[in-house]
Amino acid sequence: MAIQIDKSRFSNLAVEERDNGVWVVTLNRPSKRNALDIDTIEELVEFFSLAPRAGVSVAVLAGSGDHFCAGLDLIEHHDEDRSPADFMHVCLRWHEAFNKMEYGGVPVVAALQGAVVGGGLELASSAHVRVMNETTYFALPEGQRGLFTGGGATIRVTDLVGKARMIDMMLTGRVYQGQEAVDLGLAQYIVEGSSLDRALELADRIAQNLPLSNFAICSAVSHIQNMSALDGAYAEAVVAGVVNTQPDARTRLAAFADKSAARVRPND
């Protein structure tokens, strides 16, 4: 039997189950612009540790209020006056949460509005699909705060926008928004109005795929990117061996063969 997710264990996150195994995970500290304190990170670790074994088909990650996430909780960080070792361990918990998201096999669709900055961008870049709207903006203000990224931006944001833009964002505090942000790869979708509505539509669509296919897409691609081309090609063949022979795929293949399955067509 699948593991149960006990919603009452979450307070900095609001977690809600919808149809088709789609869960909405909402950063729920709007008065703090959803800044990431230690408790929020621990709740993300917990949710994304359970999700792959709890029948979560897709997780939609959202932020309550006008802003998705203001990054590291700067007030907590100031008040704790952490040692280097303490903050290293904080960062390792961020990595635990974000690696669970990226490599866990559950598709994560982020619905972005307002500020997606600092650690908020590190969180968003751990999702597989990002939907922004006309209010969304991306920045890495670490340089201005006397800080450095610690939640994986050097890897994931650099993967999205390239090294030169990443370094420029950190040095100058440059803000990206609108279509330019999509063109650079910071989001795959831009909508007028509710990014959450669009994220939910995409989640419903993704949930129609077979779970094992989604698992492979949302774990194998990232793992294979970390390998040499030779080992990656081998791993891809092994994953395809398992996924492409799954019994549940046979009805889909049969539907293609008998011409009842939808064909791939250009958009209208």
Q: Which of 116, 118, 186, 187 binds ligand 1HE (CB under 6 A)?
A: 118
Q: Strand order of the sheet with strand 13-17? A: 13-17, 22-27, 58-63, 108-111, 129-133, 189-191
Angstrom distances, CA of residue 152 to CA of 97, 103, 148, 159, 244: 11, 13, 11, 11, 32
28 binds ligand 1HE (CB under 6 A): no
Q: How far is the CB of 201 from ligand 1HE (least distance, A)?
A: 27
Q: How far is the CB of 149 from ligand 1HE (least distance, A)?
A: 6
What 3-state class would DSSP assign to 159? helix
Tell me which of 142, 180, 201, 236 is the catalytic residue: 142
Question: Is 122 noted as a catalytic residue in this protein?
Answer: yes
70 binds ligand 1HE (CB under 6 A): yes
74 binds ligand 1HE (CB under 6 A): yes
Q: How far is the CB of 139 from ligand 1HE (least distance, A)?
A: 8
- Between CA 64 and CA 117 the distance in angstroms is 15
Q: How far is the CB of 29 from ligand 1HE (least distance, A)?
A: 8
Burial of 252 (0-12, 13-18, 19+ CB in 10 A): middle
Question: Candidates 14-22, 55-63, 137-145, 193-201 — which segment interacts with ligand 1HE by CB under 6 A?
Answer: 137-145
Which residue bears the tokens 């939609």?
Answer: 60
Closest by CA to 156, choosing from 106, 226, 235, 213, is 226
Residues lying near ligand 1HE in the complex (CB under 6 A):
32-33, 35, 67, 70-75, 91, 94, 115, 117-119, 141-142, 145, 147, 149-151
Catalytic residue IDs: 122, 142
